[in-house]
Structure 1
Amino acid sequence: MNRRLLVVGMVCFLSLFIVGNTSSLASDQDATPPNIVLILADDLGYGELGCYGQQKIKTPNLDRLAEQGMRLTEHYCGAPVCAPSRCVLMSGRHLGHSEIRGNRDSGNGKKFPGQWPISDALVTIAEVLQRAGYATGGFGKWGLGPTESSGGPNRQGFDRFFGYNCQRNAHSYYPPFLDSDDQREMLNESPVTGHLKKPSGEVVAEDYRADVYAPDRILTEALDWLDQNSSGPFFLYLPFVEPHVAMQPPQEWIDRYPKQWDAENGPYRGQNGYLPHPRPRAAYAAMISDLDEHVGAVMDRLKKRGVEDNTIVVFTSDNGPTHGGRDPRFHIGGAACSFFDSAAGLKGYKGSCYEGGLKVPCLVRWPGKVAAGSISSVPSYFPDWFATLVAISGVGLSGDQRGDGVDLTPALTGKGEVCREQPMIWEFAGYGGIFAIRDGEWKAVRRQTKRKKPAAWELYHLATDPYESTDVAANHPEIVDRLEREFLENRFPEPDFPQPLID
């Protein structure tokens, strides 16, 4: 037997033994299964929180979450853009096995069409927990199919959904409506579109605001639902929309940041898409601080309801920070990602399968199980949350039902080793097509896979080159060949998101 496989098998056996005994102890000690709160930021970079090294943006609530729980330093999202990353998170299937492998509208002819729907056959984490007796609520941005389609959140395991079904509607924080289960709640009589320009004249933030700020309305609904279901067990999914552009944060947060930040570049006029803003750097920081404040409100409500000690809270982001645009002074939508070092020096941004597009912050708080102030450098990614949360809930799944992820409980609790038998896979259909695979310390990336002249595989040794500064593919052709074989063996074609190079 191959020595590597033998070692992996032994580690897996020991890990399964430990996890099994840990789960048994948890079920004996807990009167009810733990509540689960899964919070997803939108386009939040690896370096945009204080607990991950950010020096300028205020994130006291998330920093406190890190102090009370665990900070994961090698955590990856499911995809480098919104919809496919959310599909991976909900299904536990990596991009090579995912139904959604890029952003694509449903094509239903509506102004806000909703994204390409996941199927009835796909099983989400919400469905599994709902069948196990959990109350399930989702509040924020969905992006996995219009309400009336097979991908509607109420058809995918959520008792209650409130927020943006279509991510195009989520381009504005003052939209005409939000989705409330299968109905629409009209929000603003004079909504603000998410895309305008101001080529000349004074840029005034108030010109791009209306009556009802959608993130606050979503938070109110989420907290009300938590109040109604605090007797548990409950699964609360909070895919918040910040800091995705357009930038329309509350003025009170903007005013807390220095005016001199924006003296250098001046106002943003919408030249890189989305809405203008007079103080883009302050506005971008304000969006993240407003997100942080909302997380604090959720934590306060858990405490008020007396359920914080039997609740696991997971916070992460759907992909890396937004990339640059035509005007190099600003990123898309005027975001100040260079100014804030949003990717923490990692290569690439949103839309990229380099580390800056995929590696994201991840915090886990679980009193009595996860040690306060702990750090884990175990490589992990979105498919793992399906396996982990199902295991934590006590629901029994076997074989293929577990998806492509591994149970992270041993790493979270410090009571064992995480066993990953298969590599981490990304097969992205957007931005010209990108493949990526990480296996141990090695990561390979192939770009432009849908172009006439695809790029060659690149290879990086992350243990010695975490910033992917040196492509060593030419020095290790045998590793490139092995990773390419592993990639091809761990994916299947998806007709809605074809890859002509390999399908």
Structure 2
Amino acid sequence: MLRQCVGLLVFILLVCTSCSQSQNSNIESRKLPNIIFVLADDLGYGDLSCYGQKKFNTPHIDLLAKSGMLFTNHYAGTSVCSPSRASLMTGQHTGHVAIRDNRSLDPSPYGFREREGQFPLPDSIQTLPEVLKSRGYFTGAFGKWGLGGPGTEGTPNNQGFDEFYGYVCQSLAHNYYPDHLWHNDEKVLLSGNDEGRFGSYSPDLLHEKALEFIDSNKDQPFFLFVSSPLPHAELIVPTEEMDKFKASISPGKPFHGVDEGPAFRKGGLASQDQPHVAFAAMVSVLDKQLGEIMEKLRKLGLVENTIVIFTSDNGPHQEGGGDPAYFNSNGPLRGIKRDLYEGGIRVPLIVSWPGTIEAGSTNAHISAFWDFYPTLSEVAGAKKPPKSDGVSFYPALLGDFDKQQTHDYLYWEYHGEAGKQAVRMGNWKAVRKDIRKGNRSIELFDLSNDEGETTNLADSKPDVIAKADSIMKNAHQPNAEFKLGYLDEK
């Protein structure tokens, strides 16, 4: 009897070992899918026609949604660009991530054009492109970076990208006709043109380089990060793009009269006249470029082996003549860029992977930027990142919702405007504002029947408020460079 038991145990161990080796072999031997991640800049939840936009159409992005999965509960890292992108690259929410606000190392309050001192992401943090490189991906970034100025440890080449072309600092990306861009560590000077501007329209230059990257790497797995500056202010687009919308879009006035004046100039922004027309044209350019990326994949026979992701870094802006009210850019949601209400942080997300993701599907799974790190790590067969705040939504992409892990909560910080915090716990949404002004009160909303966050239920739900307050305290890790307020007091 003992001999039989021992024999059975040995058999079980051999089977388990064989299964483990087989699973590892499958991960190693399968063809890694290419990954194209398209990140729009300040594009709102309602700025795409597949999400309800009525003033103009986005046909190529709509086709992407028809070929894949559209998410209705996806969130950016926070409500402004640099910390949101840091969250994407590190898999950490803004209570843990190293960059928590748009900030320059230069003490000047602005870093427009002449200064490129973006606060850097530390080299000690393993980023998503570094993980993908370790799995054999060739990595390229084209567009706006915003996670470290030239010569710092935060530059794209120091954070896992083999090739970079674009704006290293987010402040320079406010100018669509810059006097220079960067190719890796080389400053590329751009000559002037007949209109008295430097170089060409930067989104065209960036797009051309991205297409070249696909051509050059078609025979190996690649990760392409297309970080478009569109449609961030300043609101400028070539004349021929404007002409397409002048008959259908009202020139209008800026949001609540903000930024009125010649060309809606404010700070380093220099938007052209007719900002409504310019905004619609800018989103149209973004849409057209996405269509050309998809056409490139079709010509090269790469469509079924390429995951294409489209999203935005935060909610819609009102700078430089931006007018989210006119376009209903936040859809049914309250708030815009810099708010931690839904309109400031809930963003479009479309993921297409023909043959793997169900075409034309909609996904209500609650996810955030810090989930991309573990999700794409799993896609690439990499080990689960040990310090990520994220949850892989790979099962949800496959429609396997029974195996999909969910978040206990999502947490955000925004360090501008006296400091803000927000938590989503299931259908409950809690928001605290004016932290450095001494405010400790929390607003509470039930998103299941109040998506627009119109009714504050804080007084009737003290137990939920207490839970949200506890999360806000515990999710915030003090940071020497970014002080939120009461949580950093000793």
TM-score (norm 1): 0.86
User: How far apart, in 1, do the equivalents of 2:281 and 2:248 lie?
Assistant: 15
Q: 1:468 aligns with which of 439, 442, 453?
A: 453
Indicate the larger mover: 477-486 or 83-92: 477-486
Given that 1:147 and 1:181 are in contact with CA atoms closer than 8 Å, whether structure 2 keeps it comes out as no
The higher radius of gyration belongs to 2
Counterpart residue number, 1:228: 216
Counterpart residue number, 1:429: 415
User: How far apart, in 1, do the equivalents of 2:160 and 2:51 lie?
Assistant: 33
1:231-261 C-alpha deviation (Å, 9 max, x unpaired): 1211101110000011111222211114464
Counterpart residue number, 1:252: 240
Counterpart residue number, 1:69: 68
Change (3 A) 1:30 1:310: farther
Quote the offset at 1:129 in angstroms.
0.6
Counterpart residue number, 1:492: 477
3-state DSSP class of the match of 1:103? coil
Change (3 A) 1:114 1:297: farther
3-state DSSP class of the match of 2:326? coil
Indicate the larger mover: 117-126 or 262-271: 262-271
3-state DSSP class of the match of 2:309? strand
1:337-377 C-alpha deviation (Å, 9 max, x unpaired): 21110010311100000000001001000112110000001
Q: 1:146 aligns with which of 142, 146, 149?
A: 149
User: How far apart, in 2, do the equivalents of 1:311 and 1:117 lie?
Assistant: 31
Counterpart residue number, 1:56: 55
Identity value in percent = 39
2:436 is aligned with 1:443? no
2:349 is aligned with 1:346? no
**Residue identity in the other structure for 2:427:** E
Change (3 A) 1:214 1:492: same
Counterpart residue number, 1:277: 272
User: How far apart, in 1, do the equivalents of 2:155 and 2:199 lie?
Assistant: 28
User: How far apart, in 2, do the equivalents of 1:183 and 1:28 lie?
Assistant: 37
Given that 1:114 and 1:167 are in contact with CA atoms closer than 8 Å, whether structure 2 keeps it comes out as no
User: How far apart, in 2, do the equivalents of 1:500 and 1:36 lie?
Assistant: 39
Given that 2:432 and 2:442 are in contact with CA atoms closer than 8 Å, whether structure 1 keeps it comes out as yes
Counterpart residue number, 1:159: 162
Runs of 5+ in structure 1 lacking a partner? 1-19, 191-205, 323-330
User: How far apart, in 1, do the equivalents of 2:246 and 2:240 lie?
Assistant: 13
Quote the offset at 1:490 in angstroms.
2.2
Change (3 A) 1:499 1:259: same
Equivalent residue runs for 1:82-481 within 5 Å = 82-107=81-106, 111-189=114-192, 209-259=197-247, 261-262=249-250, 265=253, 269-271=262-264, 273=266, 274-322=269-317, 331-397=318-384, 399-400=386-387, 403-417=388-402, 418-451=404-437, 453-454=438-439, 456-481=441-466
Change (3 A) 1:347 1:121: same
Change (3 A) 1:493 1:29: closer
Runs of 5+ in structure 2 lacking a partner? 1-18, 255-259
3-state DSSP class of the match of 1:133? coil
1:96-141 C-alpha deviation (Å, 9 max, x unpaired): 1110111100229982223110111111100111111110000000
Given that 2:264 and 2:272 are in contact with CA atoms closer than 8 Å, whether structure 1 keeps it comes out as no
User: How far apart, in 2, do the equivalents of 1:26 and 1:449 lie?
Assistant: 52
Given that 2:251 and 2:277 are in contact with CA atoms closer than 8 Å, whether structure 1 keeps it comes out as no
Indicate the larger mover: 279-288 or 389-398: 389-398
**Residue identity in the other structure for 2:486:** L
TM-score (norm 2): 0.89
